[in-house]
Amino acid sequence: MRTLISNGTVVTADGSYPADVLVDGEAIAQVGLNLRETVTADETIDASGKWVIPGGIDVHTHMKLPFGGTFAKDDFFTGTRAAAFGGTTTIVDFAVQSKGKSLREGLDAWHALAEGNAVADYGFHMIMSDVTDESLQEMDQLVSEGIPDFKLFTAYPGVFFSDDGAIFRAMQQTAKNGGLIMMHAENGLAIDVIAADTVAAGTTDPIGHGLARYSTLEGEATNRVIRLAESAKVPIYIVHLSAKEALNEVRRARDEGLPAFAETCPQYLFLSLDDLGNGFEGAKFICSPPLRTKDHQPELWKGLVKGDLQVVSTDHCPFDFHGQKELGRGDFRKVPNGLPGVEDRLDILHDGGVVGGKITKERWVEVSSTAPAKLFGMYPKKGSISVGADADLVVYDPNRKHTISAKTHHMDVDYSVYEGREVQGGSDIVLSRGSVIVRNGEFTGTKGAGRFIKRAPADFARAG
Smallest separation (angstroms) from Zn ion to the CB of 342? 12
* Residue 86: contacted member of ligand URP, Zn ion, none (CB under 5 to 8 Å, by partner type): none
Shortest Cβ contact with ligand URP: which residue?
337
Pick from 74, 192, 205, 315: which binds Zn ion (CB under 5 A)?
315
Smallest separation (angstroms) from Zn ion to the CB of 6? 39
* Residue 287: contacted member of Zn ion, ligand URP, none (CB under 5 to 8 Å, by partner type): ligand URP
Smallest separation (angstroms) from ligand URP to the CB of 117? 20
Query: Which residue, 60 or 363, has its beta carbon nearer to ligand URP?
Result: 60
* Residue 54: contacted member of Zn ion, ligand URP, none (CB under 5 to 8 Å, by partner type): none
Query: Which residue, 99 or 454, has its beta carbon nearer to ligand URP?
Result: 99
Smallest separation (angstroms) from ligand URP to the CB of 329? 18
Contacts with ligand URP, residue ranges (CB under 6 A): 62, 184, 240, 287-288, 315, 317, 337-338
Query: Which residue, 13 or 287, has its beta carbon nearer to ligand URP?
Result: 287
* Residue 338: contacted member of ligand URP, Zn ion, none (CB under 5 to 8 Å, by partner type): ligand URP
Residue 227: strand, helix, or coil: helix
Is 399 exposed, middle or buried, given 0-12, 13-18 or 19+ CB atoms closer than 10 A?
exposed
Evaluated on CA atoms 206, 208, 209, 215, the torsion sign reads positive
Query: Which residue, 284 or 433, has its beta carbon nearer to ligand URP?
Result: 284
Smallest separation (angstroms) from Zn ion to the CB of 241? 11
Query: Which residue, 22 or 225, has its beta carbon nearer to Zn ion?
Result: 225
Residue type at position 46: D
Smallest separation (angstroms) from ligand URP to the CB of 138? 22
Q: Residue 265: which of 376, 418, 409 has the closest Cα?
A: 418
Smallest separation (angstroms) from Zn ion to the CB of 127? 9
Q: How far apart are the C-alpha atoms of 289 and 333, rounded to whole Å?
A: 13
Q: How far apart are the C-alpha atoms of 377 and 383, rounded to whole Å?
A: 11
- Please report which residue ranges of 272-428 form alpha helices under DSSP H: 297-306, 345-349, 361-365, 371-375
Residue 186 interacts with Zn ion (CB under 5 A): yes or no? no
* Residue 337: contacted member of Zn ion, ligand URP, none (CB under 5 to 8 Å, by partner type): ligand URP
Q: Residue 92: which of 120, 66, 112 has the closest Cα?
A: 120
Total count of residues recorded for the chain: 464
Q: How far apart are the C-alpha atoms of 17 and 298, rounded to whole Å?
A: 30
Residue 432: strand, helix, or coil: strand
Residue 364 φ/ψ, nearest 5 degrees: -60, -45
Task: Identify the DSSP state of 283.
Answer: G
Residue 184 interacts with Zn ion (CB under 5 A): yes or no? yes
Q: How far is CA 442 from CA 47, 119, 385, in A?
A: 17, 14, 24
Residue 382 interacts with Zn ion (CB under 5 A): yes or no? no
Please provide the DSSP assignment of 58-100 as one string.
EEEE-TT-EETTEE-S--HHHHHHHHHHTTEEEEEEEEEPPTT
* Residue 185: contacted member of ligand URP, Zn ion, none (CB under 5 to 8 Å, by partner type): none
- Positions touching Zn ion (CB under 5 A) are 184, 315
